[in-house]
Amino acid sequence: MSNGEVMSTGKIENAESKAMILLLGLRRGGKSSICKVLFHNMQPLDTLYLESTSNPTMEHFSTLIDLAVMELPGQLNYFEPSYDSERLFKSVGGLVYVIDSQDEYMNAITNLAMIIEYAYKVNPNINIEVLIHKVDGLSEDFKVDAQRDIMQRTGEELLELGLDGVQVSFYLTSIFDHSIYEAFSRIVQKLIPELSYLENMLDNLIQHSKIEKAFLFDINSKIYVSTDSSPVDIQMYEVCAEFVDVTIDLFDLYKDSQQNEQKDKNSKAVHNRPRELKNVSQLGNDVIIYLKQMIRGLALVAVIRPNGADPESCLTVADYNVDILKKGLEEIWANARIHPKESS
C-alpha cells in the first residue's frame, strides 16, 4: 500500500491533509534503508545495495491517521531560495534526523543544529527527533558513550544558537533489530492527538481480561500506534511483532489464486484482505499470544498470562473484550474522525 512516490523539488503534494514526518540526515546515514525496512518489508541486509536517493521521496502510511514520511536526500540544500522549505517545514509534525553513529558525526550535528534553528523558527510546534543510528556496530559501552556525546554536543550547538529551550528526543536505532520500529512507534504516537483515549481503552481491556500487555499494531509496518500504560518491554514487543509476521505469512500461504495475481510482494495490502486476520497461539510457558485485526489495517496483539486459570475461558473473555475495543475504535473513527495534529 505504501508506494514510494518521487516528488519534484519544491512541490509538496498532499502534504497538508496528512501528519507529515520529515526524514533528514547526511548522505549514507541510513534514511532510505529505514524507509525500505519499515514500509516495504525489505530485509536489512538488502539495503547494502541501495542506491543513494537524489530526489525527495514520500511514503504514505495510513493507520489510525494518514501519515506521510518524506525523505529528503542528504545533499539537498533546503535553504536554497528555489526550495519551498518554509511551506514544507510548516506542514510537518515531526522532524526525524538520522545520525550515523559509526561515522564521524560532528558535521551531522552541525547540520542538525542548523536545521533545528530553521525548523523551529517557521514551526515552533514541530517535534524534533534524533536517531543515533547504526548502533548495531557499537559495543554496549560505546553505545552509551556515543549517545552521551551526541546529546551533549547537540546541546552545546543549540545553546550557541540561543535554542537551549528546544526539546529534542534521542533514540538509539538499527535496522537489524526492533529498535527502529520502537523509535518510529514513539515518533508516530506523538502525532496522534487521541492517543490518551486509545491508551485508556487498552488499559480497560487489560483490566478486564487476563492480558498482561496489549499493542495496537499497524500490520504493514509493525509500528505500534498505541499500547496500554504499563512500560514497554522490548522483548515483549519483539515477540508481538514477530507474531504479526508469522500471521501474515500463514495467511498469505493460503490466499486464493485471484489474490495471488494482485499480490505485491513488498507491500502486503492488508486493507484488501477479505477475511479478518485472527491468530491465537499458546507458547511453551503457557503464555498465549492473541492477534485480531481491528479497523484500518490495525491489529490488536495481546499477551495473555492465564496464571493457572483455564486458558479457554481466558480466551472467551479476551474475545468478548476485544470485540468491545473494536467497536470503540470504529466509533472513534466514524464519529470523531481522528485528525492529524495541526502542526502550526
Tell me which residues touch ligand GDP (CB under 6 A): 25, 27-33, 47-48, 50, 52-53, 74, 133-134, 136-137, 174-176
Distant-in-sequence, close-in-space partners of 309: CB < 8 Å, separation ≥ 6? 210
CB of 57 to ligand GDP, least distance (A): 9
Residue with Cβ nearer ligand GDP (77 or 285): 77
Nearest Cα neighbor of 179 from 142, 136, 139 is 136
- Maximum Cα–Cα distance across the chain: 67
Nearest Cα neighbor of 298 from 320, 270, 272, 279 is 270
The residues that bridge with 132 in the sheet, in sequence order, are 99, 172
Cell 515518533: give the residue.
187
Residue 226, SS3?
strand
Residue with Cβ nearer ligand GDP (133 or 213): 133
CB of 21 to ligand GDP, least distance (A): 15
CB of 168 to ligand GDP, least distance (A): 20
Residue with Cβ nearer ligand GDP (29 or 56): 29
CB of 330 to ligand GDP, least distance (A): 37
Residue with Cβ nearer ligand GDP (33 or 91): 33
Residue with Cβ nearer ligand GDP (35 or 318): 35
Q: How many CA atoms lie less than 13 Å away from 234 in the CB half-sphere?
A: 10
CB of 75 to ligand GDP, least distance (A): 9
CB of 84 to ligand GDP, least distance (A): 22
Residue with Cβ nearer ligand GDP (7 or 277): 7
CB of 182 to ligand GDP, least distance (A): 13
Q: Compute the distance between CA of residue 302 and CA of residue 300 in angstroms, rounded to an integer.
A: 6
Q: Compute the CA torsion angle 278, 280, 281, 285 (nearest 10 deg).
A: 140
Residue with Cβ nearer ligand GDP (180 or 291): 180
Q: Compute the distance between CA of residue 7 and CA of residue 27 in angstroms, rounded to an integer.
A: 18
Residue 138, SS3?
coil
Helix axes 106-122, 140-160, angle to 10 degrees: 50
